[in-house]
Amino acid sequence: MNKKKKKKNKNKKTAINFFSFFFLNKINIFIQQGCFAGDGVYGGSSHNHYQNPRLITFPRQHQRSSSNGLRRQKRDWVIPPINVPENSRGPFPQVLVRIQSDQDKEIEIRYSITGAGADQPPNDIYIIDPVTGKMSVTKPLDREERASYHLRAHAVDINGNQMEPPIDLYIYVIDMNDNRPEFKNQVYNGSVAEVSKPGTSVMQVTAFDADDSTTANGLVHYRILSQTPHIPIPNMFTINGATGEISTIASGIDREKVSQYAIIVQATDMEGSLNFGLSNTATALISITDINDNPPELDSKTCFILFCGFTFRDKDQPHTPNWNAVYRITGGDQMGHFAIRTDEITNDGRVVVVKPIDYERNNAFTLMVVVSNQAHLASGIPSSPSSSAAVAITVLDINEAPVFPSNPKIIRFEEGVPADTTLATFAALDPDRFIQQTIRYSKLSDPANWLKINRTNGRITTTAVLDRESPYMKKNVYEATFLAVDNGSPPATGTGTLQIYLIDVNDNVPVLVPQEALVCERSRHGYPVNITASDLDSEPNAGPYVFELPSYPSSARRNWTISRLNGNYAQLKLRIPYLEAGMYRVPILVSDSGNPPLSNTSVLKVKVCPCDENGDCTVIGAVTVAGLGTGAIITILICIIILLSMVLFFVVWVKRREKERQTKPLLIDPEDDVRDNILKYDEEGGGEEDQDYDLSQLQQPESLDHIMSKPAGVRRVDERPVILESQYPVRPTVPHPGDIGEFIIDGLRAADNDPTAPPYDSLLVFDYEGSGSTAGSVSSLGSSSSGEQDYDYLNDWGPRFKKLADLYGGGGED
């Protein structure tokens, strides 16, 4: 009885589900055709929608009283949403609803809507008639762009006064099946191992439908359309229609026969309905991966004293985990000196040394080597998963470098160690125990040149005083390096580092900081001077410091006082109310905290000056502090004024000269030009009268009438050619200084190209030298080799010619 009842309920439930699915599909089709108008869905071109749109009135407000006398308002109802199908064909604008106020019978009402889609982006999708209150949509809607809108309706009078509280309007866009399913990729890649069992998951494909996923429009169903190749059967794979997961459905997948399958997958919406749904396809490429069903084989072993190589062979797919070789050393190398490197191309193995080998400890090894695949051998294969071999390795001895037992070696000393002090013995050991060798030492690095090392035994001594405050010290440590070289073949060298830690000694006096300070002349103004000290030593040989004023000179303690701030700082200030402005040298005794302490008297240069109300030194005060009195300041000011006056006078003089140069004519008057005048300097005779020259041209003419008749400025006796004269540039009346050079160059260029400009191509008279000379011709002063001349008359010419008379007077002796 119970079984029949359950079966009856199950059949009843199935019938209800079928009816629901059928009814929903009918409603969806009805909505797409624009025929469902009961809930505010206005599609197609139904005439009733425009004549009788759905009426929405503003909610009435009721006053409800409470026990305490207060009143609250309650709306009558909640306005249902407005449903609008997407992709409507119009005509537009398409009336959706009508907004109405109960007060429109009494006063004139104006309606408006606000919100996204009305007066906010995207603007003007919805409009409202301000008089009738009819709200319309102006264009087709796309649910995939925007699925809903929230607007607010307002009612005001003609003066803009709010007559009704705003009401909220919710508009929902009804989805239509207008989008095909889209795969995320057009080609999907997956893989499955060969010999996989049926039901093995391979991969998953995914398609997305932009339509509403809560309706059949967005529900996607998957199916396989084809498989390539059809080996061993056409249907080797299946797909989950809801999730898109692809899995194997049959056995017999063999990589050696088929290495890849291509599957065409189809995605259809409307829950896979081929009559009403939209479809799209994609390709799924399934690669068959290899499994390790062939064990590796070690073909040959090639071993030498320093090298051992293995040749490998495997039938599986090359360069996969089933083919790649893995070499392991299973015995004979307890200390891990060796490893085996695999050639990525040939898969061969090579034994290499990864840890230094000491010949003195072990000079021979026998290794056990095993080779296998990266992937485990598949179950059921009747073969060993690995191959093994024994390798004998002989170690050769080489000369090793000496080794310092402690490297770096650290020693500690107090600073101030004198020269020629032995610090330590830094000796090295020779690892070659079976060979007797000699070690020699030398210095590699000694920045301060403080050390030296004995060449044979490595004893290190100082060559200078060790100072912790040296710039070569780093964190109280001085570091030097040394070499140890044996006499092997070839020689080997070892390096050792010696670090000397110097302990601080109180050997530096503290120094006052700062060296200069500024103080106001009246103690009530300004601020005290903060002083501290600097000590090259470190704690506890540095601070805290003690600051004191010495008893001498007495003015130090009479005028100044020091007060302690803390261990490292103190304050210096005036003891007296007023101190005359000037430069003062205040001695301060500073002591450190060493044992015993060191003291130092430092001089602080204090500038005392007049200050303003803020305690800042005035300008006059600063000058006074610099050591200049009132008379010196006045003298400096007078000198500055005189210097400025001289500079001003020089500038005025230069300007005046420049002005005169501009107003003066550019060229000199021809009457004043001395270059064209004939000047008579002296008469020295007519020259060589015994030569056959025409000297008349060199003599002054008897008459100068034909010269004087020429225009002014011309004083030549030669004649110019009778041709047209060249045109010269015209000089401006008041030339600019920048134009003078240009004017001269133009004039020079015109004169060079003017054939009428002197000098002409004729004999010129340059000067007049007189009509004759009383001294006679100099041609009589000649030398003759045949006759003798008497030069005794030279003695009568005076002492100036005595030398000449001595040379020529005694002709017979010469």
Arithmetic mean of pLDDT, 5-10: 44
Per-residue pLDDT, 255: 83
pLDDT digits (tens, 9 = 90+) for 652-699: 998 888 887 776 554 445 455 544 455 555 555 555 444 555 555 555
Residue 736: which residues within 8 A CB-CB, separation 6 or more? Answer: 662
pLDDT digits (tens, 9 = 90+) for 170-217: 999 988 888 899 999 999 999 998 888 899 999 999 999 988 888 888
User: Strands 187-193 and 148-157: what pairing?
Assistant: unpaired
Per-residue pLDDT, 24: 36
Q: How confident is the model at residue 47 (pLDDT cuts 50, 70, 90)?
A: very low
pLDDT digits (tens, 9 = 90+) for 124-154: 899 999 999 999 999 999 888 898 999 999 9
Locate 202 and state its tokens: 């391979």
Cα distance between residue 349 and residue 327, in whole Å: 7
Q: How confident is the model at residue 298 (pLDDT cuts 50, 70, 90)?
A: low
Highest mean pLDDT: which of 239-243, 308-312, 701-705?
239-243
Cα distance between residue 669 and residue 647, in whole Å: 36
Separation in Å, CA 242 to CA 223, 246, 267: 9, 11, 10
Q: How confident is the model at residue 282 (pLDDT cuts 50, 70, 90)?
A: very high
Per-residue pLDDT, 738: 58
Specify whether the CB–CB gap between 132 and 146 falls below 8 A.
no
Sign of CA dihedral 566, 568, 569, 572: positive
Identify the CA nearest to 340 among candidates 350, 353, 355, 326. Answer: 350
Specify whether the CB–CB gap between 207 and 242 falls below 8 A.
no
User: How many CA within 13 A on the CB side of residue 565?
Assistant: 12
Identify the CA nearest to 404 among candidates 367, 444, 372, 365. Answer: 444
Arithmetic mean of pLDDT, 280-300: 82
Per-residue pLDDT, 262: 95
Given a cut of 50, whether residue 486 has pLDDT beyond it is yes
More confident residue, 524 or 307: 524
Per-residue pLDDT, 150: 94
pTM of this structure: 0.38
Unique residue bearing structure tokens 């001077």: 529
Q: What is residue 538's three-state secondary structure?
A: coil
Share of the chain above pLDDT 90, in %: 23
Per-residue pLDDT, 567: 82
Cα distance between residue 606 and residue 528, in whole Å: 11
Cα distance between residue 145 and residue 149, in whole Å: 11
DSSP string of 209-254, one letter each residue: --S-TTSGGG--EEEEEEEES--S-S--EEE-TTT-EEEE-SS---
Q: Is the bond preceding 93 in cis, omega lying within 30 degrees of 0?
A: yes
Composition of the chain by helix, strand, coil, percent to 5: 15, 30, 50
Cα distance between residue 588 and residue 569, in whole Å: 13
Share of the chain above pLDDT 70, in %: 73
User: Strands 477-486 and 599-609: what pairing?
Assistant: unpaired
Arithmetic mean of pLDDT, 32-42: 36
Per-residue pLDDT, 38: 36
Residue length of the chain: 814
Per-residue pLDDT, 793: 76
Given a cut of 80, whether residue 34 has pLDDT beyond it is no
Arithmetic mean of pLDDT, 438-465: 92
Per-residue pLDDT, 283: 95
- Segment (H or E) for 563: strand 560-564
Per-residue pLDDT, 622: 58
Q: Is the bond preceding 540 in cis, omega lying within 30 degrees of 0?
A: yes
Per-residue pLDDT, 803: 77
Q: Is the bond preceding 729 in cis, omega lying within 30 degrees of 0?
A: no
Per-residue pLDDT, 692: 55
Mean pLDDT score of the chain: 77
Phi, psi of 274 (to 5 degrees): -75, -20
Cα distance between residue 555 and residue 606, in whole Å: 14
pLDDT digits (tens, 9 = 90+) for 90-117: 899 999 999 988 888 888 999 999 999 9
Specify whether the CB–CB gap between 54 and 134 falls below 8 A.
no
More confident residue, 68 or 627: 627
Per-residue pLDDT, 736: 58
Per-residue pLDDT, 239: 94
More confident residue, 310 or 71: 310
Query: What beta strand segments (E) does 290-421 contain?
Result: 297-303, 308-313, 325-331, 338-342, 349-353, 364-373, 386-394, 409-414
Given a cut of 80, whether residue 621 has pLDDT beyond it is no
Cα distance between residue 272 and residue 242, in whole Å: 10
Separation in Å, CA 245 to CA 287, 700, 763, 802: 16, 135, 125, 142
DSSP, res 572: E
Per-residue pLDDT, 626: 55
Cα distance between residue 246 and residue 190, in whole Å: 9
Cα distance between residue 670 and residue 676, in whole Å: 8
Given a cut of 50, whether residue 69 has pLDDT beyond it is no
Rg (CA), the chain: 62
Cα distance between residue 492 and residue 400, in whole Å: 6
Per-residue pLDDT, 66: 41
pLDDT digits (tens, 9 = 90+) for 553-565: 888 888 888 888 8
Given a cut of 50, whether residue 751 has pLDDT beyond it is yes
Q: What is residue 39's three-state secondary structure?
A: coil
Q: Is the bond preceding 491 in cis, omega lying within 30 degrees of 0?
A: no
Given a cut of 50, whether residue 611 has pLDDT beyond it is yes
Cα distance between residue 290 and residue 748, in whole Å: 103
Per-residue pLDDT, 575: 85
Range with lowest mean pLDDT among 71-85, 312-326, 519-533, 601-615: 71-85
More confident residue, 500 or 633: 500
Q: How confident is the model at residue 78 (pLDDT cuts 50, 70, 90)?
A: low
Q: How confident is the model at residue 25 (pLDDT cuts 50, 70, 90)?
A: very low
Question: Across-strand partners of 162?
Answer: 156
Per-residue pLDDT, 678: 56
Arithmetic mean of pLDDT, 253-270: 90
Cα distance between residue 272 and residue 181, in whole Å: 11
Arithmetic mean of pLDDT, 572-576: 86
DSSP, res 672: G
Per-residue pLDDT, 279: 92
Q: What is residue 162's three-state secondary structure?
A: strand
Locate 719 and state its tokens: 């004649």
Per-residue pLDDT, 642: 92
Q: What is residue 523's three-state secondary structure?
A: coil
**How many other C-beta atoms are found inside a 10 Å radius of the C-beta of residue 785?**
4
Arithmetic mean of pLDDT, 398-415: 89
Identify the CA nearest to 513 among candidates 600, 593, 626. Answer: 600
Identify the CA nearest to 271 among candidates 219, 224, 207. Answer: 219
Locate 224 and state its tokens: 């396989």
